[in-house]
Amino acid sequence: MSSSRRQYSGAEKMAILREHLLEKTPVSDVCQNHGLTPGMFYEWQKKLFEHGAMLFDPATAVAGHNRVDAKKDGRRGVRWQMLDRNPFDGIAAGGQYNEARKRFIPQADVAKVLAACPDSQWRILVGLSRFGGLRIPSEALPLTWQDVNWDTNTLLVHSPKTEHHEGQASRTIPLFPELRQVLLEAFEAAQPGTTRIITMADSAQVNWRTTLNALSAVPTLRRGPSRGIT
């Protein structure tokens, strides 16, 4: 019976690549020392050079998104018979993620944000984002109380942005204690007959980004890139 291939973390891959690229250890020796095939090593090196630019040029990721949007618009133009062909066919989208913008938010900092929220509705949004990994507000707004299964401790999440992909219209996530707590608080405060979890969306006065950015700037919190508003 063959053993499963070892999975290397990103940090481990970088350390192994460093041995050759900076310390000038021959690739054959690096592979032998770490039980790698040369093919694996060169694949890692290829990915490093292909995506490394995004660490130094945040605009690279933005440009990648713009090219994706342009290709989508071109396909729509052809489908709606406004164009004979998609002028963006053959243009690679490139990287769409800027790894340098990733930031881990400690639970202690999240607790400060939750405490600064004006009401349970905003606490739900913060909880869904941090403890549930939801896109805010696109995946939060469709949620109803029927999507919450208190018995199995799970939440059914509908995904408008990925529903056009097979099998990605929805997903089920666990209700971690922190998320269950904010949901239960809102459930107990909900008016009889309320079906949707996020009801403040009915108000035209809600400014998602402004309020969430203000919450991220509560005292003792370091300001970081605004993420999760999709």
Summarize pLDDT for 10-59 with one digit per residue, the tens: 788 888 988 888 888 998 899 899 988 888 888 888 877 766 655 555 55
Structure-block tokens of residue 35 = 């039980």
What confidence category does residue 108 fall into, taking pLDDT thresholds of 50, 70 and 90?
Answer: confident
| Cα(50)–Cα(225) distance, integer angstroms | 24
**Per-domain residue ranges of the chain:** 10-51, 59-100, 105-216
| Cα(168)–Cα(153) distance, integer angstroms | 21
What confidence category does residue 4 fall into, taking pLDDT thresholds of 50, 70 and 90?
Answer: low
Residue 150: the pLDDT is 96
Q: How many degrees, rounded to 5, is the angle at CA 45 between CA 40 and CA 47?
A: 95
Is residue 2 over pLDDT 50? no
Give the residue among 113, 187, 176, 107 at the shortest CA–CA distance from 143: 187
Tell me the backbone φ, ψ of residue 109, rounded to 5 degrees.
Answer: -70, -40
Give the residue among 130, 226, 216 at the shortest CA–CA distance from 181: 130
Residue 17: the pLDDT is 87
Supply the mean pLDDT for the chain: 78
Question: Greater confidence, 213 or 190?
Answer: 190
Q: Are strands 170-174 and 154-158 parallel, antiparallel or unpaired?
A: antiparallel
User: Could you tell me if 140 and 198 are in contact, meaning their C-beta atoms sit under 8 angstroms apart?
Assistant: yes
pTM exceeds 0.85 = no
Is residue 229 over pLDDT 50? no
